[in-house]
């Protein structure tokens, strides 16, 4: 039998649940003193449901965007007396579950900032006072759901002004830091570009004729370092050099006008020089003397200029033979036959003297070589002046071809028949006349010596380390299929030395990173204005 207190408690629960039938029955039982009357079961509290329960994060964010925009619209209506406070309060009640979620709050801030973007383009918006005005406006547009509307609007306006000015100032600080940072990054990029300019030019010229470089030397990115580390730095350099050797040999043959498989031997070079020398023999038949000009005299003075400067302070150390040599060539005119013969003699004597370790003979060899070039230049100018254009072209071409035969001959490894790129680089360093693809090879070799080293033995496709990797991976995973990993390193080597990869990943890049470019956007005045909008929007969304 229920007690009186139990009946009274059940009556209160029935009233709270709105169950009038049960409440009336319980009231009658209490009035009649029927404490043993059955107590009706209190109804279960109704389940609560919120629309956001079925929303994902993205949907809540978008709903928050809509809330932020409509809040400003409702607040504007409230400010001019068109929207009653009761409507504002009901909207706040409905939106409360959404406002309690992080995605909804973020969306609300975004919506308010988006709605206020036009204000960012107003005059003086990028200043602290202008930002305070914008913040005041956003604060006044904030709807007031509880309390006195005028007081709430005044408070929101004042706080909006404070947060707008603070956001503007913070934006200016961030923008200044961003500008300083990007300026530093761009300076570093410009410095690196300047330091690598010679190497980059050599790389591009070499690539045009088919040469490849180690990716980390050409463009040291994280991807290149990772792949080259997998492939093995030493093995990669050897594979690159192996590929380049054929390209170097082919370039030398093209410069000499030789067939693809022609041997690079002394006999080959002599045959080329004999053929090219026919243009020199033709010069002997022009029937007019070779007349000296000012350029020729200036060239001869240049041959002995250093020796003359030395004679001014140390006459006993100057070589009188150099002056005598220059004087012997300083003629007003001479026959074409003798011009060709003196060129041959000077070049032969220079080649002989260069083999000596005696500095005096080395200096004389250089003078002979320069003298021969001066006479050749004079002959070419005379041919041009007398209108012998065909002979002039033939003479110039033959002269260059003969010079190339000496360059290649000096660089060839007599044992392997390969052109050693480092020897061409040394010729270029000494100032020897190298042109065309030979010069491209020489410059590339000077910049990427490991990529142009001479490989005198064949490389194994798969090394013991590759086998160790394959067997180790298979044993560690207990999966025989992992033996295929022994091909990983050779495959990586072939990938990073392939032409497509070299073109795509081996080209130096000096563009700022995406992060740096983003910093560049932060460094604009609009960053500060964004702070002016964001500050009050965050405050009013709390």
Tokens, residue 351 = 């080649």
CB 110 within 8 A of CB 508: no
Alpha-carbon distance values, 414 to 176, 457, 476 (Å): 64, 16, 50
Concatenate the DSSP letters of all residues of 221-277 into one string.
-HHHHHHHHHH-HHHHHHHHHHHHHHHHHHHHHHHHT--TT----HHHHHHHHHHHT
Give the Cα separation of 506 and 219 in Å (integer). Answer: 5
Q: What is the pLDDT of residue 446?
A: 94
* Secondary structure class of 291 (helix, strand, coil): strand
Report the alpha-carbon angle 435-375-279, nearest 5. 70
> Which stretches does DSSP call E strand in 324-458?
333-334
Give the Cα separation of 200 and 447 in Å (integer). Answer: 9
> Which stretches does DSSP call E strand in 107-225?
none
Q: What is the pLDDT of residue 390?
A: 92
* Span 142-155, pLDDT tens digits: 888 888 888 888 88
Mean pLDDT, all residues of the chain: 82
End-to-end Cα distance, the chain:
54
Helix (H) or strand (E) holding 290: strand 290-291
Q: Is 486 exposed, middle or buried (0-12, 13-18, 19+ CB in 10 A)?
A: buried
Which residue, 540, 524, 527, is CA-closest to 163?
540
* Span 268-319, pLDDT tens digits: 999 999 999 999 999 999 989 999 999 999 999 888 888 888 888 888 888 8
Query: Comparing 185 with 451, which gets the higher pLDDT?
Result: 451
Tokens, residue 438 = 């030979």
Confidence tier at 404 by pLDDT (50, 70, 90): very high
CB 13 within 8 A of CB 35: no
Tokens, residue 33 = 């003193």
Residue 337, sorted as left (phi over 0), alpha (psi -120 to 50) or beta, turns out to be: alpha
* Span 477-532, pLDDT tens digits: 666 555 555 566 678 888 888 888 888 888 887 777 666 666 555 545 555 566 55
Residues 6 or more apart whose CB falls under 8 angstroms from that of 28 comprise none
Give the Cα separation of 390 and 175 in Å (integer). Answer: 67
Q: What is the pLDDT of residue 480?
A: 58
Identify how many contiguous H helices and E strands the chain contains and give both numbers: 25, 2
Confidence tier at 468 by pLDDT (50, 70, 90): low
Q: Give me the count of residues in the chain.
A: 542
Helix (H) or strand (E) holding 365: helix 359-385
Q: Is the dihedral of CA 410, 412, 413, 417 positive or negative?
A: negative
Alpha-carbon distance values, 484 to 60, 90, 201, 231, 491 (Å): 49, 68, 40, 15, 11
* Span 218-227, pLDDT tens digits: 888 888 888 8
The pLDDT > 90 percentage for the chain reads: 31
Residues 6 or more apart whose CB falls under 8 angstroms from that of 93 comprise none
- Tokens 């204000």 found at: 119
Q: Is the dihedral of CA 140, 145, 150, 151 positive or negative?
A: negative
- Tokens 């300026």 found at: 183
Tokens, residue 406 = 């000496």
Confidence tier at 423 by pLDDT (50, 70, 90): very high
CB atoms within 10 A of CB 527: 21
């Amino acid at each position: 039998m229920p007690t009186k207190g139990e009946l009274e408690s059940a009556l209160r629960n029935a009233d709270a649940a709105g169950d009038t039938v049960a409440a009336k029955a319980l009231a009658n039982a209490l009035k009649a003193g029927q404490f043993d009357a059955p107590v009706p079961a209190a109804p279960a509290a109704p389940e609560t449901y919120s629309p956001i329960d079925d929303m994902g994060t993205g949907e809540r964010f978008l709903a928050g965007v809509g809330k932020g925009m409509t809040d400003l619209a409702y607040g504007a209506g409230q400010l001019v007396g068109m929207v009653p406070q009761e409507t504002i309060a009901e909207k706040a009640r409905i939106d409360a579950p959404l406002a309690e979620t992080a995605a909804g709050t973020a969306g609300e801030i975004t919506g308010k900032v988006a709605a206020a973007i036009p204000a960012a383009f107003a005059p003086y918006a990028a200043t602290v006072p202008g930002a305070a005005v914008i913040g005041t406006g956003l604060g006044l547009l904030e709807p007031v759901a509880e309390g006195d509307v005028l007081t709430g609007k005044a408070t929101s306006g004042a706080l909006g002004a404070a947060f707008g000015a603070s956001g503007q100032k913070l934006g200016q600080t961030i923008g200044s830091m961003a500008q300083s940072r990007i300026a530093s990054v761009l300076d570093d990029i410009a410095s690196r570009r300047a330091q690598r300019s010679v190497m980059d030019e050599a790389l591009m010229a070499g690539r045009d004729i088919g040469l490849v470089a180690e990716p980390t030397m050409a463009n040291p990115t994280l991807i290149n370092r990772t792949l080259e580390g997998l492939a093995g730095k030493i093995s990669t350099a050897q594979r690159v050099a192996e590929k380049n050797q054929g390209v170097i040999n082919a370039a030398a043959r093209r410069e000499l006008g030789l067939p693809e498989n022609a041997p690079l031997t002394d006999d080959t070079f002599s045959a080329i020089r004999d053929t090219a020398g026919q243009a020199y023999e033709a010069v002997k038949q022009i029937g007019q003397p070779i007349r000296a000009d000012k350029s020729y005299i200036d060239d001869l003075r240049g041959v002995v200029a250093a020796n003359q400067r030395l004679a001014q302070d140390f006459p006993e150390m100057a070589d009188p033979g150099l002056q005598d040599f220059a004087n012997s060539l300083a003629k007003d005119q001479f026959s074409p036959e003798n011009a060709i013969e003196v060129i041959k003699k000077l070049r032969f004597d220079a080649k002989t003297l260069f083999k000596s370790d005696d500095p005096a003979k080395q200096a004389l060899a250089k003078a002979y070589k320069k003298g021969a070039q001066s006479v050749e230049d004079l002959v070419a100018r005379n041919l041009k002046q007398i209108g012998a254009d065909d002979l002039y072209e033939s003479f110039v071409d033959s002269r260059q071809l003969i010079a190339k035969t000496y360059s290649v001959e000096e660089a060839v490894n007599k044992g392997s028949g390969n052109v050693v790129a480092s020897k061409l680089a040394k010729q270029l360093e000494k100032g020897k006349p190298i042109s065309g693809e030979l010069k491209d090879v020489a410059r590339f070799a000077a910049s990427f010596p490991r990529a142009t080293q001479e490989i005198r033995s064949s490389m194994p496709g798969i090394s013991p380390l590759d086998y160790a990797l394959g067997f180790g991976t298979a044993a560690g995973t207990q999966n025989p299929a992992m033996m295929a990993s022994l091909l990983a390193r050779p495959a990586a080597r072939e990938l990073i030395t392939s032409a497509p990869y070299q073109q795509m990943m081996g080209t130096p890049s000096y563009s700022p990173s995406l992060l740096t470019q983003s910093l560049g956007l932060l460094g604009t005045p609009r960053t500060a204005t964004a702070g002016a909008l964001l500050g009050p929007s965050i405050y009013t969304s709390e």
